Amino acid sequence: MMGPAGIRTLTEPQDMAAYLQGVRGEVGRSPVVFLPETTDQVADCVRHCGQAGRPFVAQSGNTGLVGASVPDDVGDTAVLSLSRLRETFELDLANRSLRVSAGFRLSEVNDRLAEHGLFFPIDLGSDPMIGGMVATNTGGGRFLRYGDVRRNTLGLTVVLDDGVVLRLGSSVRKDNTGPDWKHLHIGSSGWFGTITEAILNLEPVVAEQATALVIPSSDEAMLTLLRHLETRAGPLLSAFEFMSRAAMGHAFRHAASLKNPFPRGEIPETALLVELSRPTRAPWDTPLQDVLEAVLAEAWDIADAPVADAFFGRPQEIWALRHALSEGVKAAGPLIAFDLGFTRDKVIAFRAAMTGLLGQNFPMVEICDFGHLGDGGLHFNLVKRDGPLDDEFERSLRDCVMDQAVRAFGGSFSAEHGIGPKNDRYFRMFGQQSTDLLEQSMRAVQRRHL
Amino acid sequence: MMGPAGIRTLTEPQDMAAYLQGVRGEVGRSPVVFLPETTDQVADCVRHCGQAGRPFVAQSGNTGLVGASVPDDVGDTAVLSLSRLRETFELDLANRSLRVSAGFRLSEVNDRLAEHGLFFPIDLGSDPMIGGMVATNTGGGRFLRYGDVRRNTLGLTVVLDDGVVLRLGSSVRKDNTGPDWKHLHIGSSGWFGTITEAILNLEPVVAEQATALVIPSSDEAMLTLLRHLETRAGPLLSAFEFMSRAAMGHAFRHAASLKNPFPRGEIPETALLVELSRPTRAPWDTPLQDVLEAVLAEAWDIADAPVADAFFGRPQEIWALRHALSEGVKAAGPLIAFDLGFTRDKVIAFRAAMTGLLGQNFPMVEICDFGHLGDGGLHFNLVKRDGPLDDEFERSLRDCVMDQAVRAFGGSFSAEHGIGPKNDRYFRMFGQQSTDLLEQSMRAVQRRHL
């Protein structure tokens, strides 16, 4: 028997295929896919793998971008799919919280919550499952307003690699009676266990939003504008996204139906997507569209005059451009993608430095970047213009970018995609600190334990 | 020599006195107080204590309410005061973050930040230092809007008990390249190390606020009103505080200058302090006072009609009542205080149950409670009306309340005050889970480490 009793198991190649292929094209090999339906069945699978000496990889929505959700090509690693783990969906309306199994997709969670006027406020281009979202601590486009998964997680159920089930935290928001162990697992890419259930904080759904495309007067002006918006629009500000001309150009070329909102279709060097939103539109509220226009009009008069131009439009049309960037860049040619994080001022400085450095050393590469300037996240995408990538070129280019991002600009080499085979080289290069911290932290815990 | 070279040391009783007395009247004994001025000096002190086999207690602002910042009365424990640890105060304006030493008081941090239009958004009745705030993960009166210390901490410097200095996290907001070890230390009451520095998230200062005292039509109506406010005032809502008649009565009796805002001075059974605020008052904004009046007027018409009456007034006057509750209750007689946390609906249910239970079994005790209903925090204060407390009475009363709070209502026995001698009994009673989690988590980390 390939697995523990009573658990659905796939072993035929055609049945397993979907579980072995990742979204970045990677394909692994595996003898078996387990499809447990409860936390206890996950524990059975984990124990079974332990006893059999079989490595396993946990997979929920399989939308991850670092190759962490599929097995390698050696062929001995089992897939522990959490996609049928749907035993729990318990809404606590008064507490604005939801206890939910790892196998629910984000879109399904929010569809079910809509009738109650609530949602899980992580806004992503993809549609992952809750388990993977917790494991990678995704942020997304409205981090500025709602924070990341960590900030919106009240409790977790985790199956450790020896099959022990831990229930960490609870629906109680204020509880400081010892270390908050759930944080060991959030954003750790499954290092210490498999997440089977989470208790999530919910927020009132957005009922009104206003969006503009803003052309900054200079690179430096972008942060001036951000601070102006944070002060004048305050808690209404929900997105401040940066898009480069190259990324927008590829999006328009790739998505024919996409509306080009710029005069004569001339794409600016940089555009910022600015959004205000709120959960209501009350009779006493100035319409958000008017507020946004007024805040941006003020910005003409402040020091540095950060706004060169601004275009208003229906939120779904403007977001359609933002959401088309990824596919557009992917279609433009061989892609070398980075998910970087910086302090907010370093985003601009890093881009400027890389424009020079890559122009000199990798002139055949085009920078097609975009990102979440409001929280320092930068999807630094490079497209090779002159034909296919070879491994050596890709590695030397990646090494150059990562060295600058981490060593020269103090950034993160994985802002919101977590750790996996695709960035393992950089984890080994820059993650020494992680290993030291693990050892030191373990000793500190041991001392306390003795 | 009582300590490592170059570190200021106190050994005379009159010099040490202030460091040995806690705010709840507890007085400890100690052979020495160390006053290090840098993280390295803290590490020297910790190593010195380790080599000498001397226990130590870290103390920053010494405002804690669970006795954790002063030594016990055995007399062999050193005090490691962080009050002179002021080497770092580095503001990053563009990033809205501050790197600051543990020895700065909250009020001083905010005074220094005011000229830049920023503040550290934890609102407390007391004035602790940053080190203790991180160690206890304080929440306070605006948790509903800004969250707790954990949510606003980007990085930490921690000295482990073997003198190793760890720098955890950084000013980068998005970084998921391994476990986020700083969370092992936030809210852990110093279990694993001494916090010497933190990198804090800052928010734009509040420029406009509007406040009302609302009389709910019933206990159940309070949550209906809260949900109405969260939907209609959305991100403007910054406080939803609950005050009982008994607590308000003692505040008015104790603080003669306090204005009684109620008609004919008749204190209602319950009052809610509702606050809206924002970092700006722009020309296009409806004044917040009008917004608050309109939102509350709407509440007359919704199901359950949650509002019986509402009184508006200047924010500082209304907050003066809220802030006078603690002192008023303290002055009313022997006090047995609890800092409890629940899911939001359980706060009401717990109070109702306790009113019955205490009335039956402890009729000489008056419930004078208040708290943060928006996040489930309840300062459940009991005053003994018939003379002094004896230990046995206090213990049986505490046991009764804690058993109900934790076992019957799934609450936390320390919502925001952390763990110390004053609640150690309940940590041992209900914290078994913590010890198990520590052991299991340590094993999980070890497995990964091997």
pLDDT tens string A273-314: 999 999 988 888 999 999 999 999 999 888 778 999 999 989
Q: Which residues contact B356 (CB under 8 A, 6 or more apart)?
A: none
- Please name which of A17, A177, A205, A183 lies closest in space to residue A96, comparing C-alpha atoms: A205
Q: Could you tell me the CA-to-CA distances from A431 to A282, A340, A343 in Å, in that order?
A: 50, 15, 19
CA-CA distance, B226 to B374, in Å (whole number)?
7
Domains A208-326 and A333-430 share a fold: yes
CATH architecture of B8-81: 2-Layer Sandwich (3.30)
Q: What is the DSSP letter of A403?
A: I
Q: How far is A260 from chain B (nearest CA, A)?
A: 30
Residues of B in contact with A205 (CB under 8 A): none
CA-CA distance, B133 to B128, in Å (whole number)?
7
CA-CA distance, A446 to B321, in Å (whole number)?
46
Check A280 against B446: CB less than 8 A apart. no
Residue B300 reports pLDDT greater than 90: no
Whether the Cβ atoms of residue B200 and residue B153 lie closer than 8 Å to each other:
yes
CATH architecture of A333-430: 2-Layer Sandwich (3.30)
Q: What is the pLDDT of residue A433?
A: 67
Q: Which of A148, A166, A204 sits opposite B437 (nearest CB)?
A: A166
Grade residue B125 by pLDDT with cuts at 50, 70 and 90. Answer: confident
Alpha-helical (H) ranges within A53-184 are: 106-114, 130-136, 143-146
Q: What is the pLDDT of residue B445?
A: 78
| Burial (0-12, 13-18, 19+ Cβ within 10 Å), B400 | middle
Whether the Cβ atoms of residue B257 and residue B333 lie closer than 8 Å to each other:
no
- Strand-strand pairing, B194-201 and B153-159: antiparallel
- The helix (run of H) or strand (run of E) holding residue A213 is strand A208-216
Q: Which of B174, B178, B344 sits opposite A377 (nearest CB)?
A: B174
Residues of B in contact with A206 (CB under 8 A): none
Q: How many degrees, rounded to 5, is the angle at CA A38 between CA A34 and CA A40?
A: 90
Neighbouring-strand partners of residue B119: B203
Check B177 against A96: CB less than 8 A apart. no
Grade residue A76 by pLDDT with cuts at 50, 70 and 90. Answer: very high
Tell me which fold the domain B89-204 belongs to: 3.30.465
Check A341 against B175: CB less than 8 A apart. yes
Q: Which CATH class is domain A95-204?
A: alpha beta
Burial track B50-89 (b if 16+ CB lie within 10 A, e otherwise): eeeebebbbbbbbbbbbbbbbbeeeeebbbbbbbbbbbbe
Q: What is the mean pLDDT of residues B54-58?
A: 96
Whether the Cβ atoms of residue B441 and residue A448 lie closer than 8 Å to each other:
no
What does the mean pLDDT of chain B come to? Answer: 94
Closest residue in A to B227 (Cα) is A94
Q: What is the pLDDT of residue B120?
A: 98
The structure tokens listed for A425 are 């080289």
The structure tokens listed for B336 are 């047995």
Q: What is the pLDDT of residue A157?
A: 97
Q: What is the pLDDT of residue B234?
A: 85
Q: Which residues contact A339 (CB under 8 A, 6 or more apart)?
A: A65, A377, A379, A380, A414, A415, A416, A417
The structure tokens listed for A386 are 């002159």
Q: Could you tell me the CA-to-CA distances from B130 to B65, B71, B208, B328 in Å, in that order?
A: 16, 20, 26, 27
3-class DSSP state for residue A124?
coil
CA-CA distance, B311 to B214, in Å (whole number)?
6
Q: What is the mean pLDDT of residues B49-73?
A: 95
Q: What is the mean pLDDT of residues A127-134?
A: 98
Longest dimension (CA), chain A: 73
CA-CA distance, B422 to B68, in Å (whole number)?
8
What does the mean pLDDT of chain A come to? Answer: 94
Sign of CA dihedral A33, A39, A41, A42: positive
The domain segmentation of chain A, as residue ranges, is 8-81, 95-204, 208-326, 333-430
Whether the Cβ atoms of residue A178 and residue B419 lie closer than 8 Å to each other:
yes
Q: What is the pLDDT of residue B310?
A: 93
CA-CA distance, B95 to A147, in Å (whole number)?
15
Grade residue B432 by pLDDT with cuts at 50, 70 and 90. Answer: low
Check B294 against A282: CB less than 8 A apart. yes
Tell me which fold the domain A208-326 belongs to: Alpha-Beta Plaits (3.30.70)
Q: Which residue has the higher pLDDT, A190 or B85?
A: B85
CA-CA distance, B427 to B175, in Å (whole number)?
33
Q: What is the pLDDT of residue B304?
A: 78
Q: How far is A351 from chain B (nearest CA, A)?
A: 16
Number of helices (H) and strands (E), helices first, in chain A? 13, 19
CA-CA distance, A348 to A154, in Å (whole number)?
34
- Please name which of A64, A101, A83 lies closest in space to residue A16, comparing C-alpha atoms: A83
Q: How far is A330 from chain B (nearest CA, A)?
A: 24
- Strand-strand pairing, A78-81 and A56-59: parallel
Residue B224 reports pLDDT greater than 90: yes
Residues of B in contact with A294 (CB under 8 A): 282-284
Residue A434 reports pLDDT greater than 80: no
CB pairs under 8 A between A and B: 315
Residue A450 reports pLDDT greater than 60: no
Q: How far from the centroid of its chain's Cα atoms is residue B91's Cα?
A: 25
Q: Which of B160, B177, B443 sits opposite A414 (nearest CB)?
A: B177
In single-letter form, the type of residue at position B45 comes to: C
Q: How many degrees, rounded to 5, is the angle at CA B125 between CA B391 and CA B426?
A: 35
Whether the Cβ atoms of residue B235 and residue B304 lie closer than 8 Å to each other:
no
Closest residue in B to A446 (Cα) is B442
Tokens 């998230």 correspond to B201
Q: Which of B117, B230, B375 sits opposite A174 (nearest CB)?
A: B375
CA-CA distance, B138 to B132, in Å (whole number)?
9
CA-CA distance, B273 to B253, in Å (whole number)?
20
Q: What is the pLDDT of residue A345?
A: 92
Number of helices (H) and strands (E), helices first, in chain B? 13, 19
CA-CA distance, B26 to B22, in Å (whole number)?
5
Alpha-helical (H) ranges within A309-364 are: 315-331, 344-361
Q: What is the pLDDT of residue A1?
A: 56
Q: What is the pLDDT of residue A393?
A: 96
Ranking A70-74, A336-340, A384-388, B27-31 by mean pLDDT, the lowest is: A384-388
Closest residue in A to B291 (Cα) is A284
Check A442 against B431: CB less than 8 A apart. no
Grade residue B342 by pLDDT with cuts at 50, 70 and 90. Answer: very high
- The helix (run of H) or strand (run of E) holding residue B384 is strand B377-384
Q: What is the mean pLDDT of residues A415-437?
A: 86
CA-CA distance, A78 to A51, in Å (whole number)?
13
Residues of A in contact with B283 (CB under 8 A): 294
Q: What is the pLDDT of residue B47?
A: 96
Whether the Cβ atoms of residue B295 and residue B231 lie closer than 8 Å to each other:
no
Residues of A in contact with B444 (CB under 8 A): 160-161, 184, 192-193
Percent of chain B whose predicted confidence (pLDDT) is above 90: 87
pLDDT digit string (tens) for B197-219?
A: 999 999 999 999 999 999 999 99
Q: Which of B178, B284, B446 sits opposite A419 (nearest CB)?
A: B178
Q: What is the pLDDT of residue A449?
A: 61
Residue A303: CB atoms within 10 A of its CB come to: 7
The structure tokens listed for A418 are 């977590």
